[in-house]
Chains A and B, each alone.
Chain A
């Protein structure tokens, strides 16, 4: 199975020295630590906006490492092999994105409750934030692959990636935070925004790989 080999290779690269696996979590930690310094140590306020802070931190952290997703492969030439190989490029993109999510998105989900305790969140709020992040971070990765593919085909695209991708992540942020806030504010049920969040994830899993594969093919010409 070439896709499994690719998955294992990408995870290995991410976990190795110089890989990006830990960078995302550390960035997440740094962002969440900085916010109380800006807002003041008011625990009631932090509890109220805690889910939003966690979501914003996770969003920024998962975008941070995305620009290397194809750029490294392009630099060492393995992207050309993937492009000329017989495995459909869309599946290659899905595999690489999944490996990226396993090494950066999943650690964010696991780290979120720890940071949530620091933000004075209730136990059931912690569970819900974790659930929404688990459902929502794949959407961020799969929207991000489009930007990553653009960044690989453009030589100086790395800095451009957040500008291009952040507007597209607005819906994920809105539904993620409103599902996560369900236990806090009350009137909004948890089910509806969570279902839409899952729908967004599935939707971006379809759109993202196709757009990214097209970008890579066009860029290779």
Chain B
């Protein structure tokens, strides 16, 4: 099945209904394995104790916060270059999920920071650039909610997504610069350069599990968005018909 066939929303809906149960099952299975590995196999850190388990949630969320922006960029290209109708839906559905992952990365990082650094928040380079990324997600969501016509909103959001993608590395670089200017690197101790296999394997399993979770949520959100648009069109038609009936 070529990508162009999916331009037909009905076809996508059938595919989504067929794929979703498998995705849900696979996600649940991987989370079961990943959580088991996290809590029973991966050793506690000699310094951090059990608190290090937060990492297995925190790192996949942080990775997804950027991965979802990448998905939105591909969708934005689909909207602007190929006018693929499904790309609009994909971009719109991805934004809140990406914002949620970014928020979770910030929140878990903050909870991790409290026992380790003694504070919930430091103006560290990574934290700050993820915060800016979170603001950009919120901006995109706000843009989607401002425009009534979905296809017009899609094109505006697509341009902003691409501009954001160009800017994310620049923001990251400048925040790094700013950080080294303002405070010495006291927070991250050098050390543990190579991650041990007993930690790496659970981490990778959790990363794949979270990625599958994103795929599941994304497909489900796209299906909901298509159905929502159908309802909107039906309502508009109905209103028009009632108007015509009243006039007659």
Report A's interface with B, CB cutoff 8 A: 146, 150, 153-157, 160, 163-164, 166-168, 170-171, 174-175, 178, 188, 193, 196, 200, 203, 207, 211, 214-215, 218-219
User: How big is chain B's contact interface, by range?
Assistant: 20 to 34
Report the bound CA distance from A170 to B138 in whole Å: 16
Is B13 engaged at the interface, CB distance under 8 Å to the other chain? no
Among B56-64, B166-174, B213-221, the stretch in contact with A: B166-174
Residue contact B143 to A167, C-beta cutoff 8 Å:
no
Q: Is B156 an interface residue (CB 8 A)?
A: yes
Quick one: given A160-B142, A163-B139, A168-B164, are A211 and B175 in contact (CB under 8 Å)? no
Cβ–Cβ < 8 Å partners of A157 in chain B: 146
Which one of B80, B143, B152, B175 lies within 8 Å of A170 (CB-CB)?
A: B175
| A and B contact pairs by CB, cutoff 8 A, 16 listed | A146-B159, A146-B163, A150-B159, A154-B156, A155-B147, A167-B139, A170-B171, A171-B174, A174-B177, A174-B178, A178-B177, A178-B181, A211-B159, A211-B163, A215-B159, A219-B155
Is B100 engaged at the interface, CB distance under 8 Å to the other chain?
no
Main secondary structure of the interface of A (DSSP, over half): helix
- Asked, given contacts A178-B177, A219-B152, whether A164 binds B143 with beta carbons under 8 Å apart, the answer is yes
C-alpha gap A207/B136 in the complex (Å): 18
A1 to chain B, nearest CB (A): 29
Contact of B132 with A by CB under 8 A: yes
Kindly state the separation between the CA atoms of A156 and B143 in the bound complex, as whole angstroms: 10
Cβ contact within 8 Å between B139 and A174: no
